[in-house]
A and B are shown apart, each in its own frame.
Chain A
Amino acid sequence: MKVHIPSPLLSYTNQQNDVEANGSSIAEMLDDLNRQYPGIRFRMIDEQDSIRPHMKIFVNGEQVWGLETALESPDEVYILQALSGG
Protein backbone atom coordinates (compact mmCIF):
# COMPACT_ATOMS: atom_id res chain seq x y z
CA MET A 1 0.00 0.00 0.00
CA LYS A 2 1.02 3.58 -0.44
CA VAL A 3 2.33 5.42 2.59
CA HIS A 4 2.73 9.21 2.56
CA ILE A 5 5.76 10.39 4.51
CA PRO A 6 5.92 13.85 6.19
CA SER A 7 8.85 16.18 5.69
CA PRO A 8 10.56 15.49 9.06
CA LEU A 9 10.98 11.83 8.03
CA LEU A 10 12.09 12.30 4.42
CA SER A 11 15.74 11.94 5.41
CA TYR A 12 14.93 8.27 6.06
CA THR A 13 13.20 7.64 2.72
CA ASN A 14 15.76 9.23 0.44
CA GLN A 15 13.44 12.23 0.17
CA GLN A 16 10.58 10.12 -1.20
CA ASN A 17 7.19 11.52 -0.19
CA ASP A 18 5.36 8.34 -1.10
CA VAL A 19 6.66 4.85 -0.41
CA GLU A 20 5.25 1.34 -0.53
CA ALA A 21 4.93 -0.80 2.61
CA ASN A 22 3.11 -4.02 3.45
CA GLY A 23 1.26 -5.34 6.49
CA SER A 24 -2.15 -6.34 7.74
CA SER A 25 -2.05 -3.75 10.54
CA ILE A 26 -0.45 -0.41 11.27
CA ALA A 27 2.08 -2.24 13.44
CA GLU A 28 3.08 -4.58 10.62
CA MET A 29 3.17 -1.75 8.11
CA LEU A 30 5.50 0.20 10.41
CA ASP A 31 7.72 -2.84 10.86
CA ASP A 32 8.01 -3.16 7.10
CA LEU A 33 8.70 0.54 6.79
CA ASN A 34 11.44 0.22 9.41
CA ARG A 35 12.97 -2.72 7.57
CA GLN A 36 13.23 -0.59 4.46
CA TYR A 37 14.21 2.61 6.22
CA PRO A 38 16.00 1.70 9.46
CA GLY A 39 15.26 3.94 12.42
CA ILE A 40 12.14 5.58 10.99
CA ARG A 41 9.71 3.80 13.32
CA PHE A 42 11.23 4.96 16.62
CA ARG A 43 11.10 8.59 15.58
CA MET A 44 7.30 8.41 15.36
CA ILE A 45 6.39 5.51 17.67
CA ASP A 46 7.72 5.41 21.23
CA GLU A 47 9.04 2.42 23.18
CA GLN A 48 5.57 1.75 24.60
CA ASP A 49 4.18 1.45 21.06
CA SER A 50 2.29 4.73 21.25
CA ILE A 51 2.20 7.23 18.42
CA ARG A 52 4.35 10.16 19.53
CA PRO A 53 2.46 13.29 20.63
CA HIS A 54 3.19 15.38 17.54
CA MET A 55 2.68 12.68 14.94
CA LYS A 56 -0.63 11.53 13.39
CA ILE A 57 -1.54 8.53 11.27
CA PHE A 58 -4.55 8.49 8.95
CA VAL A 59 -5.92 5.52 6.99
CA ASN A 60 -8.11 6.45 4.04
CA GLY A 61 -8.68 9.84 5.63
CA GLU A 62 -9.59 8.58 9.11
CA GLN A 63 -7.22 9.18 12.00
CA VAL A 64 -6.09 6.07 13.86
CA TRP A 65 -4.85 6.07 17.41
CA GLY A 66 -3.36 2.63 17.91
CA LEU A 67 -1.07 0.29 16.03
CA GLU A 68 -3.55 -2.60 16.03
CA THR A 69 -5.73 -0.98 13.37
CA ALA A 70 -6.20 -3.43 10.49
CA LEU A 71 -5.04 -2.59 7.00
CA GLU A 72 -5.78 -4.11 3.62
CA SER A 73 -4.81 -3.25 0.12
CA PRO A 74 -5.46 -0.68 -1.36
CA ASP A 75 -5.64 1.31 1.87
CA GLU A 76 -3.74 4.57 1.77
CA VAL A 77 -1.80 5.64 4.84
CA TYR A 78 -0.87 9.20 5.61
CA ILE A 79 1.72 9.89 8.29
CA LEU A 80 1.52 13.55 9.22
CA GLN A 81 3.25 15.94 11.55
CA ALA A 82 0.93 17.72 13.97
CA LEU A 83 1.28 21.31 15.06
CA SER A 84 4.39 21.82 17.14
CA GLY A 85 5.40 25.39 17.69
CA GLY A 86 8.50 27.07 19.05
Chain B
Amino acid sequence: MKSTVKSKTKSAKPASASVALLIATKKGAFILNSDGKRREWKIKGPIFLGNIVHHLVLDPRDRRTMLMAAKTGHLGPTVFRSTDRGKTWKEASKPPAFRKAPEGQKGRVVDHVFWLSAGHASDPGVWYAGTSPQGLFRSEDGGESWESVTGFNDHPMREAWTGGEQDGTPDGPKMHSIIIDPRDPNHLYIGMSSGGVFESTDKGAGWKPLNAGCLSETTPEKYPEYGQDPHCVRMHPLAPDILYQQNHCGIYRMDRRAPDGDVRWVRIGEKMPKSVGDIGFPMVLHPRDPDTAWVFPMDGTTVWPRTSPGGKPAAYVTRNAGKTWKRLDNGLPKEQAWMTVFRQAMTADARDPLGIYFGTTCGEIWASLNEGEKWNCIARHLPHIYAVEAAEVGK
Protein backbone atom coordinates (compact mmCIF):
# COMPACT_ATOMS: atom_id res chain seq x y z
CA MET B 1 0.00 0.00 0.00
CA LYS B 2 1.32 3.40 -0.90
CA SER B 3 2.02 5.49 2.15
CA THR B 4 -0.44 8.28 2.64
CA VAL B 5 2.06 10.68 4.18
CA LYS B 6 2.70 13.02 1.31
CA SER B 7 2.44 16.09 3.39
CA LYS B 8 2.30 19.50 1.86
CA THR B 9 3.64 20.92 5.08
CA LYS B 10 7.25 20.52 4.06
CA SER B 11 7.54 21.98 0.61
CA ALA B 12 10.53 22.01 -1.68
CA LYS B 13 13.12 24.65 -1.00
CA PRO B 14 13.05 27.68 -3.30
CA ALA B 15 15.69 27.94 -5.97
CA SER B 16 16.92 31.32 -4.74
CA ALA B 17 19.01 29.70 -2.00
CA SER B 18 22.25 27.95 -2.78
CA VAL B 19 23.11 24.39 -1.93
CA ALA B 20 26.27 23.71 0.01
CA LEU B 21 27.84 20.27 -0.02
CA LEU B 22 29.84 19.73 3.15
CA ILE B 23 32.58 17.30 2.25
CA ALA B 24 34.60 15.41 4.85
CA THR B 25 37.76 13.72 3.60
CA LYS B 26 40.77 11.88 4.86
CA LYS B 27 42.86 15.02 4.37
CA GLY B 28 40.57 17.84 5.42
CA ALA B 29 37.16 19.34 4.71
CA PHE B 30 35.79 21.16 1.69
CA ILE B 31 32.59 23.07 0.96
CA LEU B 32 31.14 23.00 -2.54
CA ASN B 33 28.72 25.90 -3.04
CA SER B 34 26.22 26.08 -5.88
CA ASP B 35 24.48 28.95 -7.56
CA GLY B 36 20.71 29.15 -7.12
CA LYS B 37 20.07 26.74 -9.98
CA ARG B 38 22.78 24.28 -8.89
CA ARG B 39 24.49 24.58 -12.26
CA GLU B 40 27.73 26.25 -11.16
CA TRP B 41 29.73 24.96 -8.22
CA LYS B 42 32.63 26.63 -6.45
CA ILE B 43 34.82 24.80 -4.02
CA LYS B 44 36.15 26.24 -0.78
CA GLY B 45 38.95 24.60 1.11
CA PRO B 46 40.78 22.68 2.22
CA ILE B 47 39.68 23.41 5.77
CA PHE B 48 42.10 21.88 8.29
CA LEU B 49 44.26 20.34 5.58
CA GLY B 50 45.71 17.04 6.73
CA ASN B 51 43.07 16.39 9.34
CA ILE B 52 41.08 13.18 9.04
CA VAL B 53 37.55 14.56 8.91
CA HIS B 54 34.77 12.02 9.28
CA HIS B 55 31.77 14.32 9.34
CA LEU B 56 30.95 17.97 8.69
CA VAL B 57 27.42 19.08 9.54
CA LEU B 58 25.46 22.33 9.40
CA ASP B 59 22.98 22.93 12.20
CA PRO B 60 19.57 22.89 10.48
CA ARG B 61 18.16 24.93 13.37
CA ASP B 62 20.20 28.08 12.81
CA ARG B 63 21.89 27.35 9.46
CA ARG B 64 25.05 28.98 10.74
CA THR B 65 26.67 26.61 13.21
CA MET B 66 28.85 23.88 11.78
CA LEU B 67 30.51 21.03 13.62
CA MET B 68 33.40 19.00 12.28
CA ALA B 69 34.63 15.64 13.61
CA ALA B 70 38.40 15.55 13.19
CA LYS B 71 41.63 13.91 14.21
CA THR B 72 45.02 13.55 12.55
CA GLY B 73 47.40 10.68 11.99
CA HIS B 74 49.21 11.65 15.19
CA LEU B 75 46.76 13.63 17.29
CA GLY B 76 43.72 12.49 19.18
CA PRO B 77 40.11 13.13 18.24
CA THR B 78 38.36 16.43 18.58
CA VAL B 79 35.43 18.51 17.37
CA PHE B 80 35.81 21.87 15.67
CA ARG B 81 33.00 24.37 15.74
CA SER B 82 32.11 27.32 13.53
CA THR B 83 29.33 29.80 14.25
CA ASP B 84 29.74 31.71 11.00
CA ARG B 85 29.06 28.94 8.51
CA GLY B 86 32.65 27.82 8.19
CA LYS B 87 34.50 31.13 8.02
CA THR B 88 36.22 30.69 11.38
CA TRP B 89 36.67 27.66 13.59
CA LYS B 90 37.30 26.98 17.26
CA GLU B 91 38.08 23.68 18.92
CA ALA B 92 35.71 22.20 21.50
CA SER B 93 36.99 22.88 25.01
CA LYS B 94 36.00 19.36 26.05
CA PRO B 95 35.90 16.87 23.15
CA PRO B 96 34.08 13.52 23.49
CA ALA B 97 36.01 11.17 25.80
CA PHE B 98 35.13 8.09 27.81
CA ARG B 99 35.33 8.23 31.58
CA LYS B 100 38.67 7.39 33.15
CA ALA B 101 38.75 3.78 34.27
CA PRO B 102 39.35 2.93 37.93
CA GLU B 103 42.92 2.03 38.82
CA GLY B 104 43.83 -1.41 37.49
CA GLN B 105 41.03 -1.56 34.95
CA LYS B 106 41.35 -1.05 31.22
CA GLY B 107 39.48 2.00 30.08
CA ARG B 108 38.14 2.82 26.67
CA VAL B 109 39.62 5.48 24.43
CA VAL B 110 37.83 7.41 21.71
CA ASP B 111 39.81 6.82 18.53
CA HIS B 112 37.73 9.15 16.41
CA VAL B 113 34.44 10.96 16.38
CA PHE B 114 32.56 9.43 13.49
CA TRP B 115 29.07 10.91 13.43
CA LEU B 116 27.48 14.22 14.42
CA SER B 117 23.74 14.87 14.68
CA ALA B 118 22.05 18.11 15.64
CA GLY B 119 19.51 17.69 18.42
CA HIS B 120 15.77 18.23 18.36
CA ALA B 121 14.37 21.53 17.13
CA SER B 122 13.14 22.23 20.66
CA ASP B 123 16.64 21.66 22.07
CA PRO B 124 18.77 24.43 20.58
CA GLY B 125 22.42 23.83 21.29
CA VAL B 126 22.02 20.10 21.79
CA TRP B 127 24.18 17.85 19.61
CA TYR B 128 24.98 14.15 19.65
CA ALA B 129 28.25 12.51 18.63
CA GLY B 130 28.91 8.86 17.85
CA THR B 131 32.43 7.56 18.14
CA SER B 132 34.75 4.71 17.30
CA PRO B 133 34.73 2.52 19.31
CA GLN B 134 31.01 2.77 19.86
CA GLY B 135 30.21 5.58 22.26
CA LEU B 136 27.47 8.19 22.49
CA PHE B 137 28.12 11.74 23.65
CA ARG B 138 25.93 14.80 24.04
CA SER B 139 26.67 18.50 23.99
CA GLU B 140 24.22 21.00 25.38
CA ASP B 141 26.23 24.08 24.44
CA GLY B 142 26.42 23.85 20.69
CA GLY B 143 29.37 21.45 20.56
CA GLU B 144 31.66 23.39 22.91
CA SER B 145 31.78 20.65 25.56
CA TRP B 146 30.71 17.02 25.43
CA GLU B 147 29.46 14.65 28.11
CA SER B 148 29.20 10.89 28.01
CA VAL B 149 25.67 9.54 27.57
CA THR B 150 26.16 7.13 30.42
CA GLY B 151 22.85 5.40 29.78
CA PHE B 152 24.55 3.84 26.80
CA ASN B 153 28.31 4.11 27.46
CA ASP B 154 28.01 2.55 30.93
CA HIS B 155 25.09 0.25 30.17
CA PRO B 156 25.70 -3.23 31.63
CA MET B 157 24.92 -4.74 28.21
CA ARG B 158 27.10 -2.39 26.19
CA GLU B 159 29.98 -4.80 25.79
CA ALA B 160 27.65 -7.60 24.69
CA TRP B 161 25.78 -5.30 22.32
CA THR B 162 28.87 -3.86 20.64
CA GLY B 163 31.09 -6.93 20.59
CA GLY B 164 34.86 -6.70 20.54
CA GLU B 165 37.29 -4.86 18.33
CA GLN B 166 37.16 -7.77 15.87
CA ASP B 167 33.48 -7.10 15.30
CA GLY B 168 33.99 -3.65 13.88
CA THR B 169 34.65 -2.22 10.46
CA PRO B 170 38.19 -2.27 9.01
CA ASP B 171 38.98 1.11 10.55
CA GLY B 172 37.26 0.50 13.84
CA PRO B 173 33.79 -0.24 15.22
CA LYS B 174 31.48 2.72 14.98
CA MET B 175 28.39 4.37 16.33
CA HIS B 176 26.52 6.18 13.58
CA SER B 177 23.04 7.13 12.38
CA ILE B 178 22.07 9.04 15.53
CA ILE B 179 18.46 9.95 14.82
CA ILE B 180 16.16 12.17 16.86
CA ASP B 181 12.41 11.71 16.40
CA PRO B 182 11.01 15.08 15.26
CA ARG B 183 7.89 14.41 17.38
CA ASP B 184 9.78 13.74 20.62
CA PRO B 185 13.26 14.87 21.72
CA ASN B 186 13.44 11.93 24.13
CA HIS B 187 13.07 9.37 21.35
CA LEU B 188 16.43 8.44 19.85
CA TYR B 189 17.77 5.79 17.50
CA ILE B 190 21.38 4.77 16.98
CA GLY B 191 23.10 2.39 14.59
CA MET B 192 26.25 0.49 15.43
CA SER B 193 28.71 -1.41 13.29
CA SER B 194 28.64 -3.76 14.90
CA GLY B 195 25.78 -3.96 17.33
CA GLY B 196 22.64 -3.21 15.36
CA VAL B 197 19.92 -0.61 15.71
CA PHE B 198 18.94 0.54 19.19
CA GLU B 199 16.23 2.81 20.51
CA SER B 200 15.83 5.02 23.55
CA THR B 201 12.59 6.66 24.65
CA ASP B 202 14.09 8.60 27.55
CA LYS B 203 16.78 10.73 25.90
CA GLY B 204 19.47 8.09 26.18
CA ALA B 205 18.95 6.89 29.75
CA GLY B 206 17.80 3.45 28.63
CA TRP B 207 18.22 1.49 25.42
CA LYS B 208 16.76 -1.57 23.75
CA PRO B 209 17.70 -3.41 20.55
CA LEU B 210 15.52 -2.98 17.48
CA ASN B 211 16.74 -5.68 15.15
CA ALA B 212 13.93 -8.19 14.73
CA GLY B 213 13.82 -9.51 11.19
CA CYS B 214 17.31 -8.31 10.33
CA LEU B 215 19.82 -10.90 9.17
CA SER B 216 23.30 -11.20 10.61
CA GLU B 217 25.89 -13.20 8.70
CA THR B 218 28.61 -12.37 11.20
CA THR B 219 27.09 -14.17 14.18
CA PRO B 220 26.30 -17.87 14.65
CA GLU B 221 22.63 -17.03 15.05
CA LYS B 222 21.17 -15.65 11.85
CA TYR B 223 18.52 -13.44 13.45
CA PRO B 224 19.94 -12.45 16.83
CA GLU B 225 18.50 -9.82 19.12
CA TYR B 226 21.60 -7.68 18.51
CA GLY B 227 24.98 -7.93 16.79
CA GLN B 228 23.87 -6.88 13.29
CA ASP B 229 25.75 -4.42 11.15
CA PRO B 230 23.54 -1.57 9.96
CA HIS B 231 25.65 0.55 7.64
CA CYS B 232 23.23 3.46 7.46
CA VAL B 233 19.86 3.97 9.16
CA ARG B 234 17.38 6.64 8.11
CA MET B 235 14.06 7.78 9.54
CA HIS B 236 11.57 9.54 7.29
CA PRO B 237 11.12 13.11 8.55
CA LEU B 238 7.41 13.26 7.70
CA ALA B 239 6.62 9.68 8.68
CA PRO B 240 8.91 9.05 11.65
CA ASP B 241 7.52 5.56 12.18
CA ILE B 242 9.10 4.51 8.91
CA LEU B 243 12.73 3.51 9.10
CA TYR B 244 15.09 2.29 6.39
CA GLN B 245 18.52 0.79 6.67
CA GLN B 246 21.27 -0.27 4.32
CA ASN B 247 22.72 -3.16 6.24
CA HIS B 248 25.77 -5.33 5.79
CA CYS B 249 23.20 -8.00 4.96
CA GLY B 250 20.79 -6.20 2.68
CA ILE B 251 18.35 -3.31 2.44
CA TYR B 252 15.58 -3.17 5.04
CA ARG B 253 12.50 -1.17 5.86
CA MET B 254 10.46 -1.03 9.05
CA ASP B 255 6.98 0.43 9.36
CA ARG B 256 6.23 0.82 13.04
CA ARG B 257 2.62 1.67 12.32
CA ALA B 258 1.90 -1.99 11.65
CA PRO B 259 -1.59 -2.56 13.09
CA ASP B 260 -0.70 -5.95 14.56
CA GLY B 261 2.23 -4.48 16.44
CA ASP B 262 4.64 -6.86 14.75
CA VAL B 263 7.53 -4.46 14.47
CA ARG B 264 10.11 -6.11 12.27
CA TRP B 265 12.61 -5.17 9.62
CA VAL B 266 11.54 -6.37 6.18
CA ARG B 267 14.25 -7.04 3.63
CA ILE B 268 13.25 -4.93 0.64
CA GLY B 269 16.57 -5.42 -1.16
CA GLU B 270 15.63 -8.87 -2.39
CA LYS B 271 13.94 -7.19 -5.33
CA MET B 272 17.29 -5.77 -6.46
CA PRO B 273 18.88 -7.50 -9.49
CA LYS B 274 20.69 -10.64 -8.33
CA SER B 275 23.80 -9.66 -10.29
CA VAL B 276 24.03 -6.44 -8.27
CA GLY B 277 22.78 -7.55 -4.89
CA ASP B 278 21.60 -5.35 -2.06
CA ILE B 279 24.84 -4.66 -0.23
CA GLY B 280 26.15 -1.13 0.13
CA PHE B 281 26.84 1.63 2.60
CA PRO B 282 24.67 4.74 2.14
CA MET B 283 20.91 5.16 1.93
CA VAL B 284 19.07 8.38 1.11
CA LEU B 285 15.37 9.10 1.58
CA HIS B 286 13.14 11.48 -0.31
CA PRO B 287 12.23 14.17 2.24
CA ARG B 288 8.66 14.42 0.91
CA ASP B 289 7.89 10.82 -0.01
CA PRO B 290 8.38 8.02 2.55
CA ASP B 291 8.22 5.37 -0.16
CA THR B 292 11.19 6.69 -2.13
CA ALA B 293 14.78 5.83 -1.30
CA TRP B 294 18.12 5.62 -3.06
CA VAL B 295 21.04 3.24 -2.48
CA PHE B 296 24.44 2.84 -4.11
CA PRO B 297 25.26 -0.88 -4.28
CA MET B 298 28.71 -2.25 -3.50
CA ASP B 299 30.15 -5.66 -4.24
CA GLY B 300 29.67 -7.66 -1.06
CA THR B 301 30.68 -11.02 -2.49
CA THR B 302 33.76 -13.16 -1.81
CA VAL B 303 36.28 -11.01 0.08
CA TRP B 304 34.00 -7.96 0.08
CA PRO B 305 35.65 -5.70 -2.52
CA ARG B 306 33.26 -2.89 -1.54
CA THR B 307 33.37 -1.44 -5.06
CA SER B 308 30.68 -0.92 -7.68
CA PRO B 309 29.59 -4.40 -8.84
CA GLY B 310 31.40 -5.30 -12.05
CA GLY B 311 33.10 -1.91 -12.15
CA LYS B 312 29.80 -0.43 -13.38
CA PRO B 313 28.61 2.13 -10.85
CA ALA B 314 24.93 2.91 -10.41
CA ALA B 315 22.49 4.19 -7.87
CA TYR B 316 19.17 2.42 -7.49
CA VAL B 317 15.89 4.00 -6.50
CA THR B 318 12.66 2.56 -5.22
CA ARG B 319 9.51 4.64 -5.37
CA ASN B 320 7.22 2.05 -3.84
CA ALA B 321 8.90 1.20 -0.55
CA GLY B 322 11.09 -1.50 -2.03
CA LYS B 323 8.67 -3.43 -4.19
CA THR B 324 10.69 -2.53 -7.29
CA TRP B 325 14.02 -0.85 -7.96
CA LYS B 326 15.25 1.18 -10.92
CA ARG B 327 18.88 1.42 -12.01
CA LEU B 328 20.20 4.99 -12.31
CA ASP B 329 23.50 5.10 -14.19
CA ASN B 330 23.01 7.70 -16.93
CA GLY B 331 26.15 9.81 -16.98
CA LEU B 332 28.20 7.50 -14.80
CA PRO B 333 31.13 5.56 -16.30
CA LYS B 334 29.97 2.43 -18.11
CA GLU B 335 32.91 0.21 -17.20
CA GLN B 336 36.15 -0.01 -15.26
CA ALA B 337 34.92 2.38 -12.57
CA TRP B 338 35.50 0.79 -9.20
CA MET B 339 33.80 3.35 -7.03
CA THR B 340 33.40 3.05 -3.29
CA VAL B 341 30.82 5.28 -1.63
CA PHE B 342 30.84 5.29 2.16
CA ARG B 343 27.80 5.37 4.42
CA GLN B 344 27.91 9.12 5.04
CA ALA B 345 28.87 10.01 1.48
CA MET B 346 25.47 10.14 -0.25
CA THR B 347 22.90 12.80 0.41
CA ALA B 348 20.03 14.82 -1.02
CA ASP B 349 19.04 18.46 -1.03
CA ALA B 350 15.43 19.58 -0.59
CA ARG B 351 14.65 20.92 -4.06
CA ASP B 352 11.98 19.78 -6.47
CA PRO B 353 13.18 17.77 -8.24
CA LEU B 354 15.54 16.59 -5.59
CA GLY B 355 19.29 16.86 -6.05
CA ILE B 356 21.15 13.67 -5.16
CA TYR B 357 24.89 13.75 -4.48
CA PHE B 358 27.57 11.23 -3.66
CA GLY B 359 31.30 11.29 -3.01
CA THR B 360 33.75 8.51 -3.74
CA THR B 361 36.88 7.32 -2.02
CA CYS B 362 38.80 8.42 -5.12
CA GLY B 363 37.78 12.01 -4.49
CA GLU B 364 34.95 12.64 -6.94
CA ILE B 365 31.63 14.34 -6.24
CA TRP B 366 28.77 13.30 -8.51
CA ALA B 367 25.48 15.18 -8.68
CA SER B 368 22.09 14.55 -10.17
CA LEU B 369 19.62 17.41 -10.32
CA ASN B 370 16.74 15.16 -11.36
CA GLU B 371 16.64 12.53 -8.64
CA GLY B 372 19.24 10.27 -10.21
CA GLU B 373 18.08 10.27 -13.83
CA LYS B 374 21.32 11.89 -15.01
CA TRP B 375 24.65 12.20 -13.20
CA ASN B 376 27.44 14.74 -13.61
CA CYS B 377 30.80 14.86 -11.91
CA ILE B 378 31.02 18.28 -10.25
CA ALA B 379 34.35 17.88 -8.43
CA ARG B 380 37.30 15.58 -8.76
CA HIS B 381 40.82 15.14 -7.41
CA LEU B 382 39.70 15.61 -3.83
CA PRO B 383 41.11 13.34 -1.12
CA HIS B 384 39.38 10.11 -0.07
CA ILE B 385 35.81 11.17 0.77
CA TYR B 386 34.16 9.99 3.97
CA ALA B 387 31.03 12.10 4.10
CA VAL B 388 28.90 14.48 2.05
CA GLU B 389 26.03 16.46 3.56
CA ALA B 390 23.80 18.83 1.60
CA ALA B 391 22.55 22.03 3.16
CA GLU B 392 20.42 24.89 1.93
CA VAL B 393 22.33 27.96 2.98
CA GLY B 394 20.45 30.88 1.46
CA LYS B 395 21.88 34.02 0.03
Contact = CB atoms under 8 A, between A and B. Distances in A.
Interface in B252-284: none
A47 B110 contact: yes
* Main SS at interface, chain B: loop
Given A8-B72, A48-B109, A38 B97 contact: no
Interface stretch (B73-81, B309-317, B335-343): B73-81
B91 interface: yes
Nearest to A6: B74
Interface in B62-119: 72-76, 78, 91-93, 95, 97-101, 106-110
A36 to B, nearest CB: 15
Contacts of A49: 100
B107 A42 contact: no
Given A42-B97, A47-B109, A84 B73 contact: yes
A86 interface: yes
Contact of A8 (B74, B101, B110): B74
A52 B74 contact: yes
Interface residues of A, number: 22
Contact of B107 (A6, A45, A48, A55): A48
A54 B77 CA distance: 13
A54 B101 CA distance: 22
Contact of B109 (A38, A46, A81, A82): A46
A54 B73 contact: yes
B316 to A, nearest CB: 32
Nearest to A52: B76
Nearest to A47: B97
A50 B74 CA distance: 14
Interface in A1-56: 6, 8-9, 38-39, 42-50, 52, 54-55
Interface in B135-185: none
A49 B109 CA distance: 10
A47 B98 contact: yes
A86 B108 CA distance: 25
Contact of A86 (B73, B76, B97, B101): B73
Nearest to A12: B91
Interface string B107-133: 111100000000000000000000000
A56 to B, nearest CB: 10
B73 A38 contact: no
A47 B100 contact: yes
A35 B287 CA distance: 46
Contacts of B91: 39
Contacts of A86: 73
B154 to A, nearest CB: 14
Contacts of A6: 74
Given A8-B74, A49-B100, A54-B74, A38 B93 contact: yes
A85 B72 CA distance: 11
Interface in B201-245: none
A67 to B, nearest CB: 12
B380 to A, nearest CB: 21
Contacts of B107: 47-48
Contact of A52 (B75, B93, B95, B98): B75
A11 to B, nearest CB: 9
Contact of A42 (B95, B101, B108): B95
A6 B75 CA distance: 11
Contacts of B74: 6, 8, 52, 54-55, 81-82, 84
30 contacts: A8-B72, A8-B74, A9-B75, A38-B93, A39-B78, A42-B78, A42-B95, A43-B76, A44-B75, A44-B76, A46-B76, A47-B98, A47-B99, A47-B107, A47-B110, A48-B98, A48-B100, A48-B106, A48-B107, A48-B108, A48-B109, A50-B109, A52-B74, A54-B73, A55-B74, A81-B74, A82-B74, A84-B73, A84-B74, A86-B73
Give the 8 A-B residue pairs with the shortest CB-CB distance, closest first: A84-B73, A47-B97, A43-B75, A48-B107, A54-B74, A81-B74, A46-B109, A43-B76
Interface of B: 72-76, 78, 91-93, 95, 97-101, 106-110
Given A9-B75, A50-B109, 15 more contacts: A39-B78, A39-B91, A44-B76, A45-B76, A46-B76, A47-B97, A47-B98, A47-B99, A47-B109, A48-B107, A49-B100, A52-B76, A54-B74, A84-B73, A85-B73
